[in-house]
Each structure stands twice: as C-alpha cells, then as structure tokens.
A and B are shown apart, each in its own frame.
Chain A
Amino acid sequence: MLNFSLKELADLLAAKKISSVELTTEFLRRAQALNPHYNAFITLNEDLSLAQAQAADAMIAAGRVQPLTGIPIAQKDIFCAKDWRTTCGSKMLESFISPYDAHVIEQFNRAGAVNLGKTNMDEFAMGSSNETSYFGTVKNPWDNAAVPGGSSGGSACAVAARMAAAATGTDTGGSIRQPAALCGISGIKPTYGVVSRYGMIAFASSLDQAGPMAKSAEDCALMMNVMAGFDERDSTSLQREPENYLRDLEQPLKGLRIGLPKEYFAEGLSADVARAVEAALAEYRTLGATTVDISLPNTKLSVPVYYVLAPAEASSNLSRFDGVRYGHRAKNYGDLNDMYSKSRSEGFGAEVKRRILIGTYVLSHGYYDAYYLQAQKIRRLIAQDFTAAFQKCDVIMGPTTPSTAFNLGEKSGDPVSMYLSDIYTIAVNLAGLPGLSIPCGFGDNGRPVGLQIIGDYFSEAKMLGVAHQYQRVTDWHQLSPKVM
C-alpha cells in the first residue's frame, strides 16, 4: 500500500476498504521506524495526525469525499500549521507552535487530507543539501552517503522512502526540483503567484513558490488542484479561474516541440546525467515529440543575480526575528540592541547569517544601484531569454542538476560551489516560470537523475501531461530505494 498512487489510495478510502486512521497509522509507523536513520521529519505528532484521520473518516462516512480526503501528506516545516511546532529548520523557531494555518495547510485541511508530520529542510530554505538544518542532515534513501538535496530535502526523502503518500515543498531557486531529482521523485514549482504564500515562512518573497512533491506527475496534478488558488492575504496571489490540473494528462504528445537549451548541455554537465537525459529525450521522440535547439544565453548570470536578489529579500524578511514577539531570545543581554544582536546571532545558523550579511551589504547606502538594481535588470534579460525561446518550442527540457546527488559534507564548506550546483533551476524562479522534475534514470553511482521540464507561464497542466505521458511508458517513478 505504501507504493500506491494517490488515486489508488483515494479509491480504497472511498470504497471503505481501508480507513484513514488505518492508512495514517501505517505511514506513521513507517515514518517513526525510519526517521531515526533518515531524519526526514523534524516533527511527528501522532495525536494531531490521528485526530485529522478520524475527522476524515467521518467525512467519508458522511459521503463528503474529495480526492485527497483521508490521505496522509507530509508538510515541509516552512508552512505554519496551527498547533504544530513549525521550525523552518532553525533554532530561531525551535519551540514555535504556530497559532495559525498557512493557506496551503488550510487548503489541505479543507480537502480532508491528513498532516502526517513536518519535514526537515535547510534552515529558512537556504541551502541545496539539507545540511544547514539546525535539526541535522537528512540522508538520501538511495545512498546514505549522499545528500537528499535541498531545501525540501526532508519532503523528498519522505516520499522516496515511502514514509508519506506525498509531500509539499517550496522552491525559491530549485528547492522542489533539485531534491526531487536527487531522490528520484516528481515535483513541480508552479508559476509564481499560483499558490498562496500566506503562512509560508518567507525567504525571498519575489521568488518563493510552493508546490507538490510526489511519486508521479499524476499525483502532483491531484495536489495542485488542492494547493492552487487565489488568496487575498498574499498580495502577489493571482486572481484566476480555478484550473483542473488533471485535464491534460491523457493528451498525446504528437507534434510537441521540445526546446533544448544548449547552455544546459554544455561544460559542467556530468556524462552520466547527460546520458540519462538523452535517453529520456529519445523516448519523447518515440512518443511523437520533436526537439529543437534553443539558447538561453544569460543562464550563467542567473547564479550571481540570484545571490544578490534572494539575500537582499531575505535580509529584509528575516529582520522580523528579533526575539521580541516570538522565536529565540538570548538569555543574557544588555540594552535593546544587544538583545537583538545576541538573539539573532544565537538563533540563526552560519548560512542564514551569511545571506543576511550579503543582503544587508547589497542594499546598503552607495551599493544599491551596482548590485540590487543591476541584478533586477539582468533578471529581466533572463526572463526575456525564455520569452524568446517559447516562440520556438512548447516546453523546454534538460537536466535538473549538473550531477547526481553529491556526498554529505562534500560542498558544505564551499558556498560558491554549492550555489553553482543550482545553475539549471535558478533562472526559472527569476523568470517566475513553472518548472517540473521527474526521475529519468540513474547515474554511474546508482543515484537518481532528474529530467527538468520548464513551461511557459500557467502551463502547469500541459507540463504535467507531458510528464505523465513519459511515466506511462517508463517505470523510473515507480522504483523505490531499499530502505533499512
């Protein structure tokens, strides 16, 4: 049952062949047994999960069933969930019990889904390996020496190791797609503004976007139907007609034009990743698609631009953590400034402090034009690259990451090398486009490879269909690692 799709689980629940309490208990038992080794969850709370499962069973008994009713879903610990400890992977929020629900959590609650637990993540979502979490690193279930990716590493690990039926993630520079790729699961970052950011602890507000992480594109589509939607409490939430993200799953691919950016297949891409991606492209050609060479000339600039814009926004967003209203406060301090400085110094980890310092510097007097404004201008050039590319193709494909999962500790001492590993994902956030990653094979070391599919604005349904058609004829997404 742990390998079942969301649709299969929903059918079992609707037919009353299993109750939500039974299903939730089964996933909880597995999560409790595996978590000491994998560290995918920061918080499991059996009482809260089972109370929701009982409520879901009552909904089902009353005939009020929606597609995800009764299904246990792991929530990234960046989403505030009422009565749940919500830490964002930080000592700063180690004992923060959220007084309210994020919009995403509300949507899942409304659908009758069960919150299975809060997943581990890089501190304040700043990281690509889950190694910056205050609550310890997460292991990649395919190879325990490898990182699971980040920042949504706990969610990726939980789904890959079948500890949760599905999970949520957030993606500011690749934090859904990269861990999905490294752990062999499917994940989609929607168009900026499609999913509300209300109650999702802010990192870089003009880039942050939540999305599903699941075993298949079809599961992601079911979750998108719950997560997407207008919310007036997020000033950048888009007012659009509700969409059915399942609608294009069965669309044949004949005539689909796939753009291949030459910059994504250039120097820096590992040979084994290139091989797996080429094989996937060959499969797409068999399915009737054609490929066309395109160029995204400003790709290389996306990393420096991101490391100006994201830290600048983060330094502003994280100024709210001052030890006054919530979060960590230092034990010993003198005046008010001393209280702020010590509380923040103790509460934030090294990478978060580093990014706050970068952000404060680039926004400081005399440097704004050279850094922040210049970055915003290049951001437009990067977005225009995509606009030009979509004149020639319907979707863009390439590797999600330059290599398979790197080893724990391999890049943690060298931030620049860590940052450069996000070269294929960052530009998508800067442009605000949707991006998806699905598993497409394994590297020489037996670690998963992700295929990235980038679509035009609001083309999530089409992209999920493109991914689903591939998953109909391949079984990479059905493979799961042998766990302890």
Chain B
Amino acid sequence: MSLTLNDVKKVAYLARIAVNETEAEAALHKLSGIFCLIEEMQAVDTAGVLPMSHAQDLSQRLREDSVTEINQRDCFQAIAPQVENGLYLVPKVIE
C-alpha cells in the first residue's frame, strides 16, 4: 500500500486540519515511512483471534439515570473563545 498526496488531503479534510500544498507533501513523506512500519502487521495470521480493546475484559458499569452534574455554565463559558448571552458563538451554519 502506498499513500498518495490526495489521500493525505482527503484525510486532513476529514480530520478538519487545514494543510497547504507544502505541508501535505511533507506529511506524505513522513506518513509513508510510518505506514511502512505499520504494514509489518499484515504478515501476521490472526485468524480466530478475538480483538482486544481493553486490558481488563470487564463489562461497563451502569448507573442510575439521574442528574449528576450541576449547572456551571458561567464557569465553563469564562474560558470559551466567543460567547454572548450564555451562548457559544460560531459562524452561521443555516442560511
């Protein structure tokens, strides 16, 4: 498998990271080396092996469906880039 410049641009778009042409080319070079390393995995026969997502195979805990958080809007919005009347401001999404 070899990565193309288009792959890098497409993935950068999916990840919402702006890259210019120079950055995309630099990324392609470094990522190709990393994917060469990752390709070593493909030679391993894993037929019948269960995927492992966590070290301890425990089921997730459940809790009562009750409100546990208190309202801390002022505290949280004090560190926001842009707020107005208790709302987070972003560019207009719907015309």
Chain A interface (Cβ < 8 Å from any Cβ of B): 96-97, 99, 191-193, 206, 232, 235-236, 238-239, 300-301, 303-305, 307-308, 315, 319, 322-329, 333-342, 344-345, 348, 353-354, 356-358, 360-362, 364, 370-371, 373-381, 383, 414-416, 419-420, 431-433, 457
B49 to chain A, nearest CB (A): 4
* Dominant SS among interface residues on chain B: loop
User: A390 vs B63: C-alpha distance in the bound complex, in angstroms?
Assistant: 35
Q: A336–B7 contact, CB under 8 A? A: no
Judge if B82 is at the interface, Cβ distance under 8 Å.
yes
Cα–Cα distance between A371 and B11 once the two chains are bound (Å): 15
The docked-state distance in angstroms from the alpha carbon of A380 to that of B3 is 28
- Partner pick for A383 among B16, B31, B39, B52, CB 8 A cutoff: B52
Query: For A192, what are the chain B residues with a Cβ–Cβ distance below 8 Å?
Result: 54-56
Are B91 and A325 in contact, CB atoms less than 8 angstroms apart? no
User: Cβ of A353 and Cβ of B27 under 8 Å apart?
Assistant: yes
Given A192-B55, A324-B90, A325-B76, do A307 and B50 touch, yes or no (CB 8 Å)? no
Query: Residues 49-61 of chain B: 1 if any A CB is under 8 Å from the residue's CB, otherwise 0?
Result: 1111111101011
Q: Does B17 sit at the interface, judged by CB under 8 A?
A: yes
Known: A326-B79, A339-B91, A340-B16. A360 touches B11 (CB 8 A): yes
State the CA gap A362–B12 with chains docked (Å): 13
Nearest CB on A from B83, distance (A): 9
5 closest Cβ pairs, A-B complex: A432-B55, A376-B51, A329-B81, A377-B46, A380-B52
- Does B88 contact A324, Cβ atoms closer than 8 Å? yes
Q: Judge if B67 is at the interface, Cβ distance under 8 Å.
A: no
Q: Which residue of A lies closest to B60 (CB)?
A: A235
Contact A97 B50 (CB under 8 A): no
CA–CA, A305 and B34, complex, Å = 12
Looking at the assembled complex, report how far the CB atom of B89 sits from the nearest CB atom of chain A, in whole angstroms: 9
In the docked arrangement, what's the CA distance between A362 and B40, Å? 15
Nearest chain-A residue to B33 (Cβ)? A416
Known: A301-B41, A362-B38, A364-B11. 15 other contacts (CB 8 A): A99-B79, A232-B63, A235-B61, A301-B44, A304-B40, A307-B34, A319-B16, A326-B76, A345-B19, A357-B31, A360-B14, A374-B46, A376-B51, A380-B50, A419-B34
The interface of chain B, by Cβ under 8 A from chain A, is 3, 7-8, 11-19, 27, 30-31, 33-42, 44, 46, 49-56, 58, 60-61, 63, 72, 75-76, 78-82, 88, 90-93
Chain A residues whose CB sits within 8 angstroms of the CB of B90 once the complex forms? 324, 336, 339
**A232 touching B31, Cβ below 8 Å:** no
15 A-B residue pairs with CB within 8 Å: A99-B79, A232-B61, A239-B61, A304-B39, A308-B41, A344-B16, A360-B11, A373-B51, A376-B53, A381-B46, A381-B49, A415-B33, A416-B33, A416-B36, A432-B56
Query: Which residues of chain A are within 8 angstroms of B34 by Cβ–Cβ distance?
Result: 307, 354, 358, 415-416, 419
The secondary-structure label for the interface of chain A is helix
The CA-CA distance from A157 to B54 in the complex, in Å, is: 31
Cβ of B39: which chain A residues have Cβ within 8 Å of it? 304
Assess the B37–A307 pair: CB atoms within 8 A.
yes
Tell me which of B17, B18, B38, B79 contacts A357 (CB under 8 A). B17
Instruction: Kindly provide the distance from the CB of B56 to the nearest chain A CB, expressed in whole angstroms.
Output: 6
B contact residues around A238 at 8 Å (CB): 56, 58
**Do the beta carbons of A378 and B56 come within 8 Å of each other?**
no
Q: Provided the pairs A304-B41, A419-B37 are in contact, do residues A354 and B54 lie with their beta carbons within 8 angstroms?
A: no
- CB of B90 to closest CB in A, whole Å: 6
Residue of A nearest to B82 (CB): A329
Cα(A154)–Cα(B56), bound, Å? 30
Chain B's nearest CB lies how many Å from the CB of A412? 12
- With beta carbons under 8 angstroms apart, the residue of A239, A304, A378 that contacts B37 is A304
B12 and A357 within 8 A (CB): yes
Closest to B80 in A: A325
Q: Is the CB of B17 within 8 A of A353?
A: yes
A354: nearest residue on chain B (CB-CB)?
B30
Please give me the residue from chain B that is nearest to A432 by CB atom: B55
A342-B18 in contact given A336-B90, A357-B8, A374-B41 (Cβ < 8 Å):
yes
